[in-house]
Amino acid sequence: MHIALYKPDIPQNTAAIIRLSACLNLKIHIIEPCGFDLHDARFRRVVMDYLGFSRIFRYDDYDKFLSKNKKKRIVLMTTKAKKNYHKFNFKKNDILLFGRESAGVPENLHKTIKNKVKVPINKKTRSLNVAITVAIISAEALRQNNLLK
């Protein structure tokens, strides 16, 4: 199972997601540019020694990410999706794509990605923290594919 972060801009969120990936054996794909330096003290404080347990792939841009992952299905997590995550059938080799905290993914990516899901939330709120969303979606995708140990 794969997690992709599109131009993440909050170091603590990215670090928490990397920690989660280490614990749940997920591969992490970071689509650059990040909104912070991966040597940022805030990033290091949260990620601690979990970097060594993570499989992280970095890409200069979305096109390079796509060219290296042609055979995998991309599933976009977005508050704009119509389908709830628990009603979606995840596959073992899916890449779960999460947008930038400040802006999501650009409209052209929304148009080109077929599979989109959301976590249903209170209509009075905008969105969940991206690290929390990654944990919720990843747990369900792993459960559906009997990958939880």
Residue (of 119, 75, 70, 116) closest to 97 by Cα position: 75
Does some domain include residue 14?
yes
Number of domains in the chain: 1
The CATH code of the domain that includes 126 is 3.40.1280.10
Does some domain include residue 114?
yes
- Give the integer Cα–Cα distance in Å for 76 and 142: 16
Q: What is the DSSP letter of 124?
A: T
Does some domain include residue 126?
yes
In what helix (H) or strand (E) does residue 112 lie, and over which residues does it extend? helix 107-112
- Give the integer Cα–Cα distance in Å for 52 and 29: 15
Q: Tell me the one-letter amino acid at 25.
A: N
Does some domain include residue 113?
yes
pLDDT for position 41: 80
Does some domain include residue 74?
yes
Residue (of 119, 116, 114) closest to 136 by Cα position: 119
Q: Model's pTM, two decimal places?
A: 0.94
Does some domain include residue 149?
no
Q: Which residues contact 7 (CB under 8 A, 6 or more apart)?
A: 31, 32, 33, 34, 35, 100
Q: Tell me the one-letter amino acid at 122.
A: N
Q: What is the DSSP letter of 100?
A: B
- Tens-digit pLDDT profile for the chain (149 aa)? 999 999 999 988 998 999 999 999 999 999 999 988 877 787 777 777 888 888 999 999 999 999 999 999 999 999 999 999 999 999 999 999 999 998 899 999 999 999 999 999 999 998 899 999 999 999 999 999 999 86
Domain membership of residue 139 as a residue range: 2-144
pLDDT for position 91: 97
